[in-house]
Structure 1
Amino acid sequence: MKVDKDRQMVVLEEEFQNISPEELKMELPERQPRFVVYSYKYVHDDGRVSYPLCFIFSSPVGCKPEQQMMYAGSKNRLVQTAELTKVFEIRTTDDLTEAWLQEKLSFFR
């Protein structure tokens, strides 16, 4: 999702099905912020499987300050409205890997 500056709202930019974190990072712009809501198949240590809904805020280093402010200002309201609890931030698209996501989700066991 991205912020539409002219309409002053968050809009759906693209939707993907069955995409890995590594494939997803290839779709994110390297110099523009984006919001991602991502359902991930997470296998717990005891073998249970869950599909947590993760909110990922991509705010790459080098973004225009105006963009960073618009996205940062929209983030909390979007998270609250969608009632998302697994909220993460990346500062470079290279950070978005399966290992990174598993590490972040392991906190929620």
Structure 2
Amino acid sequence: MQELTIIEQSVLELIPRGGAVKRSASEIASLVGLERRDIQAVVNRLVKKGVPIVAKRDGRYIERGYYIATTEEERTKGLISLKRQQKDTEERIKLVEHADLKNWENNLKRAVSE
């Protein structure tokens, strides 16, 4: 594994091993004194360095958060939300690519009035 920065090491230490316990980006951010978006960026860097960090993003708040997958089952479960997000992003890309750049407002007004 590549060498970690102090921030990366601090964040890594706060991410639980195994899926039984999870820690939210907001909680990690408050513990290390960073913004939530900064934590997401650090997590992305850690993943690029080979750390198998996954997350549960749906369900009750207490069940959401990051964790380090330690089994294939945890990895598979942790990737469900990420794969769903990828699918939603691909759908959005297609919709924007095919949107009518000149007439979308008129089309929207027409759809609302019908």
Q: Which has the larger radius of gyration?
A: 2
With normalisation by structure 2, the TM-score equals 0.31
The structure showing larger relative contact order (alpha-carbon pairs under 8 Å, at least 6 residues apart) is 1
With normalisation by structure 1, the TM-score equals 0.32
Q: Which has the higher strand share?
A: 1
